[in-house]
């Protein structure tokens, strides 16, 4: 896993109805060190998904630079793994085939792919579901597969776009705990987009609050690890930080 | 009145689960009974409306002489060749148009235009160009199969979720790999739907072409029987058409659909 740098990133769209340029992202700079976990929060429409889509290379940038491990980003690539809100698993591939899709594209052989599938499905607690198809899984299981599919390809940076937004509240807490456990074990570099303030504080080392396309504030989260909801839900430090971030988001 | 019917329905459901072939056969029993009834009432002369047994014995005779099997083989071979050629052109063309925005914008009106000129509407000019022969028949089938498959393939390619393509890109898939691992499987349920429609239309077009062009085949059998005044033979031909399509659809196309789109949750039953 390597570092990620955003330098004066900006994005403008042409608004065909008004005939003017619309600025979605304005002068955003951000440094995510190797093995860091940064959450980006903000109200809907603040441009957080646009930033992620630009880092992923899905959307062209209008100004500034994006550097992954010192190399400038041009289009999508396997150095940046993406976890989608809609899970985006391949419906015609089994869970194991989904997880090993990246390695298969790199030309990794069958035996090695089987080993990768075993390892990452065990990491997600999904060994029993290896031969199932995505539509036979619950929403929570689909997201777990989405996360390990990105991880199994060994990206420099893991980009997560509100991955737990569409699962129920209980499952979401379990998934958050599993993600912290995986992160504490493997220390990938993560950029995590969410609109859920407590999710951001629970998961991240640092929370970036975005407002109208620019960075409003950065809040460090020095909570001890390993983190779990049973402990943090009553923790004063967690509550104070969540409150602080929430106030920032609401003022945004 | 309701209770015995429900009881009967319950038995029917249980039996058809145990012997699925029954489900294909039993619904026709009332139809055949009605047919027999009308024939026995003598409303129409026998020569115009033969009974089920007359038709059955005629069918047996044709089968026994080998005419029915020969003609059936001819018709099926024509359909298979035409459909294979149609698919070989239609799927790559549909993929190309589906992937390429410019090709889509340019070709879509043309596709709709030519789709509207039905298969049989081509027969007059084809007869002028190619005469009464295999070329004309093959052209009609290829043409008929082509459009539903192209249009559905285009639709299928264009409706593959953009996240799936993005996911594949950020997992390091090249354009070619994305085509084969994402776009084609994603479009497959639509391609199969197109194939199903195309074969259905193609089968009908073939019979029409055989009636006009034919020297053999089920369509020719029926039209030839008209000349000889054998209504039984015409009805045999009609029944063969229905049975054959039922077999192709339920034994060949439906299982493919179950194994792909339905299994993947892309198509709901």
pLDDT in tens, B193-236: 898 888 888 888 888 888 888 788 888 888 888 888 888 888 88
Are B169 and A76 an interchain contact pair (Cβ–Cβ within 8 Å)? yes
Same domain, residue pair A160 and A142: no
Same domain, residue pair A204 and A230: yes
Same domain, residue pair A175 and A247: yes
Determine the residue among A57, A58, A90 to mutate to test chain B binding: the one whose Cβ has the most chain B Cβ atoms within 10 Å: A90
Same domain, residue pair A53 and A110: no
Put simply, the chain B residues between 121 and 180 with a CB less than 8 A from any chain A CB are 161, 163-164, 166-174, 177
Which pLDDT score, from 0 to 100, does residue B1 have?
62
Which pLDDT score, from 0 to 100, does residue A100 have?
96
- Side-chain half-sphere of A85: how many Cα atoms within 13 Å? 11
Which portions of chain A are predicted below pLDDT 50?
none
Report pLDDT digits (tens) over B159-170: 999 999 999 999
Number of domains in chain A: 2
**Domain-ending residue, one of A132, A154, A176:** A154
B265 touches chain A (CB under 8 A): yes
Same domain, residue pair A168 and A75: yes
| A66 is a domain residue | yes
| A137 is a domain residue | yes
Which pLDDT score, from 0 to 100, does residue B224 have?
87
| A86 is a domain residue | no
Q: Which CATH architecture has domain B54-264?
A: Orthogonal Bundle (1.10)
Q: Please give the backbone phi and psi of residue A247, each rounded to the nearest 5 degrees, phi first.
A: -60, -40
Query: For a pLDDT cut of 70, what percent of chain B falls above it?
Result: 99
CA distance B172 to chain A (A): 5
Read off the pLDDT of each residue in B72-99 and give the average, rounded to a whole number.
92
Same domain, residue pair A212 and A167: yes
Same domain, residue pair A100 and A140: yes
H or E element at residue A4 = strand A4-15
**Domain-ending residue, one of A154, A185, A201:** A154
Are B171 and A153 an interchain contact pair (Cβ–Cβ within 8 Å)? yes
Are A90 and B185 an interchain contact pair (Cβ–Cβ within 8 Å)? yes
Full residue range of the structural domain in which residue A110 is found: 93-154
Are A78 and B171 an interchain contact pair (Cβ–Cβ within 8 Å)? yes
Which pLDDT score, from 0 to 100, does residue B258 have?
82
Same domain, residue pair A217 and A124: no
A47 touches chain B (CB under 8 A): no
Confidence of residue B27 (pLDDT cuts 50, 70, 90): confident
Q: Which residues pair with A159 in a beta bridge?
A: A82, A191
DSSP output for B165-209:
HHHHHHTT--HHHHIIIIIHHHHHHHHHHHHHHHHHHHHHHHHHH
Same domain, residue pair A159 and A218: yes
Chain B residues with beta carbon closer than 8 angstroms to that of A131: none
Nearest residue to B165 (alpha-carbon basis) of B151, B181, B154, B152? B181
Task: Work out the mean pLDDT of chain B and round it to a whole number.
Answer: 87
**Cα A74 to the center of its chain, rounded Å:** 19
pLDDT of B269 above 60: no
Same domain, residue pair A168 and A245: yes
Which residue from B170, B188, B265 is facing A76, i.e. has the nearest CB?
A: B170
**Domain-ending residue, one of A108, A127, A154:** A154
pLDDT of B22 above 90: no
* Least confident range of B42-46, B133-137, B223-227: B42-46
Which pLDDT score, from 0 to 100, does residue B184 have?
94
Same domain, residue pair A215 and A226: yes
| A191 is a domain residue | yes
What residue has token string 């989608």? Answer: A84
pLDDT of B246 above 90: no
Please give the ipTM for the structure prediction. 0.92
What CATH number corresponds to the domain at position A60? 3.40.50.300
Same domain, residue pair A124 and A69: no
Which pLDDT score, from 0 to 100, does residue B155 have?
94
């Amino acid at each position: 896993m390597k570092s990620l740098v955003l330098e004066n990133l900006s994005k403008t769209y042409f608004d065909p109805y008004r005939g003017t340029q619309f600025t979605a992202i304005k002068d955003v700079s951000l440094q995510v060190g190797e093995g860091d976990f940064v959450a980006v929060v903000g109200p809907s429409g603040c441009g957080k998904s646009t930033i992620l889509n630009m880092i992923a290379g899905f959307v062209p940038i209008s100004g500034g630079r994006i550097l992954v491990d010192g190399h400038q980003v041009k289009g999508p690539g396997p150095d940046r793994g993406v976890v989608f809100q809609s899970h985006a698993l391949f419906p015609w591939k089994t869970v194991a085939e989904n997880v090993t899709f990246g390695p298969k594209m790199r030309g990794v052989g069958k035996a090695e792919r089987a080993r990768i599938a075993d390892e990452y499905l065990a990491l997600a607690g999904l060994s029993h579901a290896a031969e199932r198809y995505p539509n036979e899984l619950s929403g929570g299981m689909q997201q777990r597969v989405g996360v390990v599919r990105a991880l199994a390809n060994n990206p420099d940076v893991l980009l997560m776009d509100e991955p737990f937004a569409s699962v129920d509240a209980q499952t979401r807490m379990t998934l958050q705990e599993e993600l912290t456990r995986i992160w504490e074990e493997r220390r990938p570099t993560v950029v995590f987009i969410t609109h859920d303030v407590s999710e951001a504080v629970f998961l991240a080392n640092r929370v970036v609050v975005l407002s109208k396309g620019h960075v409003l504030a950065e809040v460090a989260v020095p909570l001890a690890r390993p983190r779990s909801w049973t402990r943090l839900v009553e923790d004063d430090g967690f509550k104070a930080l969540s409150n602080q971030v929430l106030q920032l988001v609401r003022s945004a | 009145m309701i209770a015995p019917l429900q009881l009967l329905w319950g038995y029917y459901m249980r039996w058809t689960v145990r012997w699925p072939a029954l489900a294909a056969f039993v619904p026709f029993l009332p139809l055949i009974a009605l047919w027999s009834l009308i024939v026995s009432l003598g409303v129409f002369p026998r020569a115009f409306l033969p009974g089920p047994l007359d038709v059955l014995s005629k069918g047996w005779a044709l089968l026994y002489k080998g005419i029915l099997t020969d003609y059936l083989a001819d018709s099926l071979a024509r359909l298979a060749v035409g459909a294979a050629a149609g698919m070989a052109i239609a799927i790559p063309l549909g993929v190309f148009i589906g992937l390429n925005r410019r090709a889509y914008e340019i070709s879509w009106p043309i596709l709709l235009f030519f789709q509207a000129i039905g298969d049989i509407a081509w027969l007059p000019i084809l007869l002028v160009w190619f005469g009464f022969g295999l070329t004309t028949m093959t052209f009609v089938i290829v043409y008929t199969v082509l459009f539903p498959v192209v249009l559905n393939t285009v639709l299928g390619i264009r409706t593959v979720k953009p996240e799936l393509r993005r996911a594949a890109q950020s997992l390091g898939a090249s354009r070619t790999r994305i085509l084969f691992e994402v776009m084609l499987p994603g479009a497959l349920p639509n391609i199969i739907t197109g194939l199903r429609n195309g074969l259905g239309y193609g089968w009908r077009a073939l019979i029409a072409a055989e009636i006009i062009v034919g020297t053999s085949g089920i369509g020719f059998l029926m039209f030839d029987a008209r000349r000889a005044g054998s209504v039984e033979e015409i009805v045999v031909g009609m029944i063969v058409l229905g049975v054959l399509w039922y077999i192709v659809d339920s034994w060949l196309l439906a299982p493919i659909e179950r194994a792909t789109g339905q299994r993947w949750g892309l198509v709901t039953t």
